[in-house]
């Protein structure tokens, strides 16, 4: 019997229609930002209640520009969870502000808003929460807290396109909201990102900041109004994103079904700590970018590294989201130590991301579940 094919932990779903659209753009003579970007922005805007959306070359760039839009500058503080991708604190530092790391809830892995309230001070200008793995933060509590303290909110919704809160899509309400279109996300444009903004003025500011700070003067010449960067998304990417957006509901429905199958069938001994299933009655609000249980390390005679190696040997890829940001070299320098953020550290130490992508079969899920059962049973302490 031949070995089953390698199962990666993430894989984009790209169809022939997408390839044809890319070929058409390549042949058109206009390959960088142009009409397809405008069409992609309009289509994205339609999914978030008509709010203005501007795309850029990555979510990281979108976060950087969002911080500028929010007026964050040197001397300010921005609160962010330590259980997030490094782009969030990195862009806060690049804005000149200081990242203030707050712990996450053990269950949802989203920013602990009670702990956040305690860290708000006179220098706090913004909160940058992450919707962990596609599970929205408690949006009512988040925006109530921001309103009380007059803070801007920059939602890192990199993993939450198509997620919703009480039936309303993430990005359709609130303040600034950033999506990522990296290949591992629920919707890809190869690389790319977008930011939902509040009004035409903010949209115009993004257009300036993403392209050299250039403004057109009435006489046809160019002015530079701000030292902008270059973060525009090419039309080649935009047509990929457009095709993906049309299939997003289908992709996310499949992700939810696969996640439900994992949660129903992962019955290991010792048990894994399974991810939060989504808010009661609102399970469809979770877009399931990640299916990441926690390993019961105290009950195991195997490290996470060896667990992952055992999966690799069985032809199953795994991921890790995320390391604890406050314990990386760059952020220890801000005075953080192990023990500061216990939930974040426990998640960071024991998380494993299992394969999850729309073209996975039910049999693939069962194969991963069987591997979990075997490997955990073999290394029970
Ligand atoms: C992927 C990711 C990013 C960065 O997205 P890019 O498009 O690669 O810049 C930021 N935040 C979170 C939570 C992510 O998962």
pLDDT tens-digit readout, 165-201: 999 999 999 999 999 999 999 999 999 999 999 999 9
- Position 144 pLDDT exceeds 70: yes
pLDDT, tens only, 101-143: 999 999 999 999 999 999 999 999 999 999 999 999 999 999 9
Q: Would the pTM count as exceeding 0.95?
A: yes
Distance CA 330, CA 256 (A): 36
Mean of pLDDT values over 240-252? 98
- Position 249 pLDDT exceeds 90: yes
Specify the pLDDT at position 376. 98
- Categorize the per-residue pLDDT at 235 as very low, low, confident or very high, splitting at 50, 70 and 90: very high
Distance CA 31, CA 222 (A): 23
CA–centroid distance, residue 208 to ligand 1 (Å): 22
**What's the whole-number average pLDDT of the chain?**
97
Specify the pLDDT at position 310. 98
CA–centroid distance, residue 19 to ligand 1 (Å): 24
pLDDT, tens only, 295-333: 999 999 999 999 999 999 999 999 999 999 999 999 999
- Position 155 pLDDT exceeds 90: yes
Mean of pLDDT values over 27-49? 98
Specify the pLDDT at position 270. 97
CA–centroid distance, residue 106 to ligand 1 (Å): 21
For β-strands 98-102 and 77-81, DSSP reports them as: parallel
* Maximal CA-CA distance, the chain: 76
Specify the pLDDT at position 2. 75
Specify the pLDDT at position 247. 98
* Catalytic residue numbers, as ranges: 185
- Position 21 pLDDT exceeds 80: yes
- Position 288 pLDDT exceeds 90: yes
Task: Name the residue at shortest CA distance from atom 5 of ligand 1.
Answer: 59
- Position 252 pLDDT exceeds 90: yes
Closest ligand 1 atom to residue 58 Cα is 7
**Are 344 and 336 a contacting pair, CB within 8 Å?**
no
- Position 1 pLDDT exceeds 70: no
Domains of the chain: 16-242 (3.40.640.10), 247-378 (3.90.1150.10)
The DSSP code sequence of 108-175 is T-SB-HHHHHHH--TTEEEE--B-GGGPPP-HHHHHHHHHHHT-EEEEE-TT-TT-EETTEETTSSSS
pLDDT, tens only, 62-74: 999 999 999 999 9
CA quadruple 36, 40, 43, 49: dihedral positive or negative?
Answer: negative
Q: CB within 6 Å of ligand 1 — which residues?
A: 58-60, 84-85, 87-88, 130, 156, 158-159, 180, 182, 193
CA–centroid distance, residue 375 to ligand 1 (Å): 31
Specify the pLDDT at position 111. 98
- Position 338 pLDDT exceeds 90: yes
- Pocket test of ligand 1: the residue of 9, 10, 57, 60 to mutate, having most ligand atoms within 8 Å of its CB, is 60
């Amino acid at each position: 019997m031949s070995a089953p094919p390698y199962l990666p932990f993430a894989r984009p779903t790209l169809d022939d229609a997408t390839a044809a659209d890319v070929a058409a753009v390549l042949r058109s003579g206009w390959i960088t930002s142009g009409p397809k970007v405008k069409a992609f922005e309009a289509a994205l805007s339609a999914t978030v209640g008509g709010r203005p959306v501007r795309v850029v070359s990555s979510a990281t760039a979108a976060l950087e520009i969002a911080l500028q839009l929010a007026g964050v500058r040197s001397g300010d503080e921005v609160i962010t969870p330590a259980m997030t991708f490094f782009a969030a604190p990195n862009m806060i530092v690049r804005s000149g502000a200081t990242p203030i790391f707050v712990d996450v809830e053990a269950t949802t892995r989203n920013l602990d808003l009670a702990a956040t309230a305690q860290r708000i001070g006179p220098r706090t200008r913004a909160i940058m929460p992450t919707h962990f793995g596609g599970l929205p933060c408690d949006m009512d509590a988040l925006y109530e807290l921001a309103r009380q303290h007059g803070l801007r909110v920059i939602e890192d919704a990199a993993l939450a396109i198509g997620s919703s809160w009480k039936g309303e899509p993430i990005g359709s309400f609130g303040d600034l909201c950033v999506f990522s279109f990296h290949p591992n996300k629920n919707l890809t444009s190869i690389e790319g990102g977008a930011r939902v903004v509040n009004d035409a003025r903010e949209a115009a500011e993004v257009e300036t900041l993403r392209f050299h700070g250039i403004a057109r003067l009435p006489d046809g010449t160019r002015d530079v109004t701000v030292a902008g960067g270059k973060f525009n998304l090419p039309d080649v990417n935009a047509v990929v994103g457009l095709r993906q957006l049309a299939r997003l509901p289908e992709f996310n429905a499949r992700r939810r079904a696969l996640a439900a199958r994992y949660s129903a069938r992962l019955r290991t001994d010792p048990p894994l700590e399974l991810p939060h299933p989504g808010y009661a009655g609102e399970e469809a609000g979770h877009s399931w970018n990640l299916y990441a249980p926690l390993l019961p390390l105290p009950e195991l005679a195997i490290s996470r590294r060896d667990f992952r190696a055992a999966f690799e040997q069985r032809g199953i890829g795994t991921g890790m989201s995320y390391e604890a940001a406050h314990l990386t070299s760059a952020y220890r320098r801000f005075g953080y130590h192990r023990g500061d953020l216990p939930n974040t550290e426990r998640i960071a130490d024991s998380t494993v991301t299992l394969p999850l992508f729309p073209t996975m079969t039910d049999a693939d899920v069962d194969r991963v579940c069987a591997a979990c059962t075997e490997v955990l049973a073999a290394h029970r302490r």
